[in-house]
């Protein structure tokens, strides 16, 4: 049996303090319209609308999870962009020689 250490991710360290963050803030951070946001996260449109209008409140856990998914998606996209730039730079270096 292998001695594997379990790794845990501290969501707070990734998303920060969400006390003052609204669902609308998260949607705008993701750069999505309401319709796109609902489709991406399988949230009924009316539910999102009522959260944004303050008629209902999203649970803290759901807000943390949503913020985590958005933040990690941003990190992955930034990583991909940086990797592409690095590869392009290496290719340009090869062409100059």
Rounded CA separation 91/75 (Å): 24
Please give the pLDDT value at position 91.
76
Region 50-62: mean pLDDT is: 92
Please give the pLDDT value at position 71.
85
Is the pTM higher than 0.75? no
Q: Is the pLDDT of residue 86 over 90?
A: no
Q: Is the pLDDT of residue 39 over 90?
A: yes
| CA 36, chain centre distance (Å) | 14
Q: Which two tokens stand for residue 4?
A: 């594997």
Please give the pLDDT value at position 44.
97
Between 23 and 95, residue with greater pLDDT? 23
The CB density around residue 82, as the number of other CB atoms within 10 Å, is 10
Region 69-75: mean pLDDT is: 85
In order of 3, 18, 46, 68, 86, the CA distances from 72 in angstroms are: 28, 15, 26, 6, 21
Q: What is the DSSP string of 32-61?
A: --HHHHHHHHT--HHHHHHHHTTSS---HH
In order of 33, 56, 85, 97, the CA distances from 52 in angstroms are: 12, 8, 37, 56
Q: Is the pLDDT of residue 13 over 60?
A: yes
């Amino acid at each position: 049996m292998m001695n594997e250490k379990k790794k845990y991710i501290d969501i707070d360290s990734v998303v920060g303090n969400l006390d003052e963050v609204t669902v609308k803030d998260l949607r705008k951070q993701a750069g999505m319209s309401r319709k796109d946001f609902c489709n991406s996260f399988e949230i009924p449109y009316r539910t999102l609308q009522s959260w944004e209008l303050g008629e209902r409140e999203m649970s803290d856990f759901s807000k943390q999870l949503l913020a985590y998914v958005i933040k990690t998606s941003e990190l992955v996209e930034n990583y991909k962009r940086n990797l592409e730039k690095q590869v392009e730079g290496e290719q340009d270096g090869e062409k100059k020689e």
